[in-house]
Structures are given as C-alpha cells and as structure tokens.
Amino acid sequence: MLAHANLVIFQALCYDARALSGETMSPSSPPSIHDLSARVIENRDLGASHFLLTLQAEPVAAAACPGQFAMLRFAGRMDPLLPRPMSISDVLPADGSHPVLLQILHKVVGRGTQLLAALKPGERLQVLGPLGKPFSVPSPVAPGSQALMVAGGIGVAIFPFLVPMLQRAGLKPVLLFGARSSRELVRKDWFARQGVEVRTATEDGSEGAKGFVTTLLQEALGSSPEVAIVYACGPQAMLKAVGEMLIASGVSAQLSLESYMGCGIGACLGCVVKVRRDSGFAYARICVEGPTFPASEVLW
C-alpha cells in the first residue's frame, strides 16, 4: 500500500534481550505474555484526575514493546468484573535498587480507574501483558527527518516508551499534544526533558494554540523538514480526522485504537474494528491485530 511504502516493518526495539540480539517477534513464535501480581511502587497524582502508576512487574516490563498494552485487574473482585486495558506507558530500566519497572499513565473516568487511582505503594494489582501489536518504526530514515506523535488527552500515555526507540532509529520525535485545557497536558515537561519538541493545543486556549491537535498536525505536515512517520493515539473522532489527513498527505501513519474489551487476548471477539482486507472488509481484533493499525487500513 502506498501509504507505508517507505515503512520497513521491523519490530520495535523493545527493552528486552530479543531486541538486543536482533531477533524479531514473528507471529509464529508464541508471544511471551505474563499474568502476575504486581506490587505498586508509586502512584503519583499528576492533577486533573491523571495518575502515574509505577509497578513492579518485571517479566511484563522486560517483554514489552512500545505501543503494547496490559490488562489490569483486582484479583478476585467480581464488580467491576472485567480487566481494564491500559497502554504500557513506559518501562524504567533497572537500577541498583529496582528491577525494570512498568509505568501506566491513566485518567479517572469511571469505577475501575477510580480503584486504580486509590492504589497505595505496597498494594497489589494483577497485570496481564504485554499484549497487542507494537508500533513499528521506518528504516532507514533520511537524516533529520521527524516522527510526529499526535496525542489527544490521555492518549499521550502511550508515547513515553516510544521516544527512545525513535531516537535510536535516528528520528527526531515531535509531540503534538492536544487537550481540553492546560491542566490536562500531563507529562509535557517530561517529554521536553527527553529532548522531544512539544507543541500544544488546548480547546479552551489556556495553553498553546486554541483548538484541536489536528491544527498542529496540519501545520507540521505543511512545513519542512520531512515527516517520516506519524503515530497517533486519542479519542476516536481525533484518530479519524488524523487518519484522513495523513492518507491525503501520503505520510505513513500508525493509529493506536481503543475499544471496550473483554479478554485482551483474542478470545472473545469483542474488541473489533472494521478494516480494509483484500477487496472488502473484515473485523480485526484490536487486542491482537492492533491496537496499532496503519491509518490506511482502518474503515471508520
């Protein structure tokens, strides 16, 4: 397909040894998925109902790649019943006092996320992961070319883990971050500290451009230097708009989609999105065929 002609699908440079040994994860090799009881190391209140949860979940963290997610649940609890899907926001390398740690950035929107927000250090949470298809990065890239990360609100959660991978691939990461108001531009400074150029838009105009993140994207696509690839995560309406803009511009793009999920492992067929397949369409499971999809594949 034209839109990703320049995309060599090689797997994410994951944290673990697979990547270091140059081995790639092929669909035929069974994925290493773990289900474990993780200890809460920290649950930092970032304001505006956003929390950064740091978990000791070594096997999950060690096997994770940027773009993947985990299913979180409270063991034995029957209401709320289903596990909650959350992007693997970052994996912190081991240091003297800690093994690799897993970070989840989440926003309180209902009962499950309320329970997550109430977690205290030392408490436990069941983590199933890593799940889903990671982001891939183009290779080789023209020197100085950019990778745009388009985030709508809490969609920003997926990007911290991607940043080092883009940098290693020789891309210059730029974050286009849209939210309702300034307070919801969470972790913006963290990105800046990693050397990511951050451009913001808010609906109420309290910070950055007034309006939607798509305005920032329009500008970025219209200006030099070359944009090698665009990654996007956020509300469906935003992803749809972003996808359409990128298909029109011919820049390859990967969207990270969301859906209500039952199992997270491809068994319930509950999480589907309509995608282009052969001459017609198919329903692809977001939890295994996604959550990352080429923009050109998704039929909204």
Partner 1 sequence: MKAAPRLEVQLGPLKLKNPIITASGTFGYGTEFLPFVDLSRLGGICVKGLSLSPRKGNAPPRTFETPAGMINAIGLANVGVEEFVRSKLPALRPYGTAIIANVFGETVEEYAEVARIASTGEGLAALEINISCPNTERGGMVFGCDPDGTRRVVSAVRKVTSLPLIVKLTPNVTDIVSIARVAVDAGADILSLVNTFLGIAVDVSRRRLVLANGVGGVSGPAIKPQALYLVHRVCRELQVPVIGMGGIMNVSDALEFMLVGARAIQIGTANFIDPASSVKILDGLLQALDHLGIEDVNEMVGALKTDGPSQDFST
Ligand X SMILES: Cc1cc2nc3c(=O)[nH]c(=O)nc-3n(C[C@H](O)[C@H](O)[C@H](O)COP(=O)(O)OP(=O)(O)OC[C@H]3O[C@@H](n4cnc5c(N)ncnc54)[C@H](O)[C@@H]3O)c2cc1C
Tell me which residues in 205-224 interact with ligand X (CB under 6 A).
none
Does 84 sit near ligand FES (CB under 6 A)?
A: no
- Token pair, residue 106, equals 């989440």
Does 268 sit near ligand FMN (CB under 6 A)?
A: yes
Can you tell me which of 74, 183, 262, 276 binds ligand FES, judged by CB under 6 A? 262
Does 109 sit near ligand FES (CB under 6 A)?
A: no
CB of 268 to ligand FMN, least distance (A): 4
Distance CA 190, CA 213 (A): 19
Contact region with ligand FES (CB under 6 A), list: 142-150, 159-167, 183-191, 264-272: 264-272
Distance CA 147, CA 130 (A): 24
∠ CA 147-153-154, nearest 5°, is: 90
Does residue 64 sit in helix, strand or coil? coil
Please list, residue by residue across 23-45, b when 16 or more beta carbons sit within 10 angstroms of its beta carbon and e when fewer do: eebeeeeeeebbbbebebbebee
CB of 14 to ligand X, least distance (A): 17
Distance CA 115, CA 131 (A): 22
DSSP bridge partners of 42: 54
Can you tell me which of 30, 76, 110, 222 binds ligand X, judged by CB under 6 A? 110
Does 265 sit near ligand X (CB under 6 A)?
A: no
In terms of CB distance, is 170 or 270 closer to ligand FMN? Answer: 270
Does 94 sit near partner 1 (CB under 8 A)?
A: no
Tell me the per-residue interface mask from 126 to 155 with partner 1, x by CB under 8 A, - otherwise. Answer: x-x---------------------------
Does 33 sit near ligand X (CB under 6 A)?
A: no
- Other CB atoms within 10 A of residue 204 CB: 13
- Other CB atoms within 10 A of residue 112 CB: 20
Provide the H-helix boundaries in the chain: 17-20, 58-63, 111-117, 162-168, 188-193, 213-222, 236-249
Can you tell me which of 218, 268, 274, 277 binds ligand FES, judged by CB under 6 A? 268
Tell me the per-residue interface mask from 129 to 168 with ligand X, x by CB under 6 A, - otherwise. Answer: -------------------------x--x-----------
CB of 95 to ligand FMN, least distance (A): 43
